[in-house]
Amino acid sequence: MLYLSSFTQTLIFKVVMSFKNIFFYIIFSVLCTSILAQDYHPPLDFKLLLSGTFGELRSNHFHSGIDIKTEGVQGQKVYSIADGYVSRIKVSTWGYGKALYITHPDGNTSVYAHLKDFNKAINDYVIENQHKKESYEIQLYPPKDKFQIKKGEVIALSGNTGGSAGAHLHFEIRNTKTEHPINPLQFGFDIIDDIKPTISKIKIYPIDGEVNGQKIEKSFNLKNSGGKYTLSGTTPTVKGKVAFSISTFDKLNGAYNKNGVYSIKLFVDSNLIYHFQMDEFDFAESRYLNAHIDYKEKKISRTKFHRCYKLPNNRLSVYKEMIKKGVFEFKDDTTHLVQFQVKDIYNNTSNLSFEVNSITTKTENEKAILFAPFSQYFSYMKPNIFKENDFQLHMESYSLYKDFNFEYFEKDSIKGVFGKVHHAHHDFVPIHKKFVISIRGKVPEKLKDKAYIAKVDDNNRFWYMGGFWRNGMLSAKVREFGDFCIVADTINPTIKGVNIYPGKKLNTQKTIKCTIEDKESGIKTYRAEIDGKWILMEYDYKRKLLTYKIQKKLEKGKHIFKLEVIDKLNNTTVYNAEFIR
């Protein structure tokens, strides 16, 4: 299988179709295939099983690669898929963890993430630069001639670093020029998949109409017979402008994971009105996923639905077809056929077909429509400013995906809060850009430098949002609606020695380990030293664990280990331990 970008596919098609000679057409097609086909080495040397596919619906973003299982362990050899050079190295506590980027002559860059270690040459280079910067987290762009890599060369060991939820290899292919991630499964890696996608549910939305006589969306269960799905209940009745969404996933042979699908098509009366397909996307547009999915449904039930229509401020480029923004107007008294076609990249296909009854007669709901009172109308195209006595909100234009009525009210205070809790709309309404909220609270002068804005969850737990004082109000940039308040953090972080304590003898011990934690605002920085000199401690935030690999050059005798941890409100804890080597 070869990869051609959407633009290239269209260009080649137009050129080829301009030729009348069928022989030339065949020769031209063969030449294109031989030039553009890839022969990549697999990134791992055993059977490739996936726990995640390209374009999956993740939290606030589309998945930009494939997740390859590593047999449940770390330390598997990772191979470069082709000749190239190391163009970027990143070590982060979060996100991709330890990641390696290799640029190839064919115009693509391969990415390998959540690594345990790089190969020795790269690892030595990284450690040298970490010591120069005195920082575990680092980003490097080596010269092109620094690390020339051969196809099939071992470049790293797989791991579980960063935001990984388990041992695996996150693998990507990107267009080097645009930096757009490309679906790696288009490049012919040996992955077995003969399983059809599963379609779980659909929903019908009354955009400017009705579903079953009501102006509220309705979900429908399905029944399946060999990949051919139908509705399990009675035929829906629709009127006016309505739209559809679908909950679907895909499985691959040998893996239990529910992965993303490659393509979704929606037909009404055999006319294609919507086509979603995951070949590539731009990282800059990835957050528009929150406009693509039914965000409220995901927030409340954790079920992910692909909207098969566009919200006004949805700028995604992953739609091959979108007629009238996916909204269909039913304006007659007859039956219409609705069909979904869902595919994975290996062309395994599931189909859903059902009828809807279109009506034009008036219903009871048209006679009396009640609207709940709201505080202020917000437009997605314009800046929005909301002000009350002790609460303000400032939002840039195009921060929303559609217009709505913003709801605000004060709630009673709870333990630990300075002032009231402020209900700023509902967190099931997604936001694209960060916006500023400001709260006025009676905070004692001595605690002002320890105060921050917190989001309050349903269990009255506080989540740090930040804070800076301005015009007598505490402000913070946030990216969600919800309940907000002012609290203070005066509690120092905690440090516990795992295998270190004062007087410890480290004769054969190879590491020094400590756990660190801050349950209030969270950890901002840490610094570890031996005898006053900075040492490299790797931070695994998932296990709250810091690890130092003891160097052979550490002399015998007494030494002092010091660890300082600072939280986001500058509360500080220092741990000291004299040990004997």
Tokens 């400017």 correspond to 208
Shared domain for 506 and 569, answered yes or no, is yes
Shared domain for 214 and 354, answered yes or no, is yes
Shared domain for 208 and 341, answered yes or no, is yes
Task: Specify whether the CB–CB gap between 224 and 237 falls below 8 A.
Answer: no
**Residue 411 carries which side chain, given as an amino acid letter?**
K
Task: Specify whether the CB–CB gap between 475 and 437 falls below 8 A.
Answer: yes
pLDDT at residue 226, rounded to an integer: 84
Shared domain for 228 and 330, answered yes or no, is yes
End-of-domain residue from the set 334, 365, 396? 365
Distance, CA of 350 to CA of 439 (rounded, Å): 51
Shared domain for 211 and 247, answered yes or no, is yes
pLDDT at residue 507, rounded to an integer: 85
Closest CA to 481 of 295, 312, 302: 295
Shared domain for 177 and 28, answered yes or no, is no
**Reduced to 3 DSSP states, what percent helix, strand and coil does the chain have, rounded to the nearest 5?**
15, 45, 45
Distance, CA of 563 to CA of 577 (rounded, Å): 9
Distance, CA of 425 to CA of 431 (rounded, Å): 11
Distance, CA of 148 to CA of 125 (rounded, Å): 14
pLDDT at residue 38, rounded to an integer: 64
Shared domain for 419 and 449, answered yes or no, is yes
Residue 193 lies in a domain: no
Distance, CA of 417 to CA of 164 (rounded, Å): 34
Residue ranges in 22-139 assigned as alpha helix (H): 22-36, 120-133
Shared domain for 180 and 256, answered yes or no, is no
pLDDT at residue 365, rounded to an integer: 57
Shared domain for 203 and 333, answered yes or no, is yes
- How many domains, the chain? 5
pLDDT less than 70: residues of the chain = 1-38, 363-374
Q: How close are the terminal C-alpha atoms of the chain, in Å?
A: 58
Segments forming the whole domain that contains residue 167: 50-187
List the structure tokens of 457.
């969850």
Task: Specify whether the CB–CB gap between 488 and 443 falls below 8 A.
Answer: yes
CATH number reported for the structural domain that contains residue 430 in this entry: 2.60.220.30
Please list the residues that pair with 342 across neighbouring strands.
Answer: 264, 350
Shared domain for 111 and 161, answered yes or no, is yes
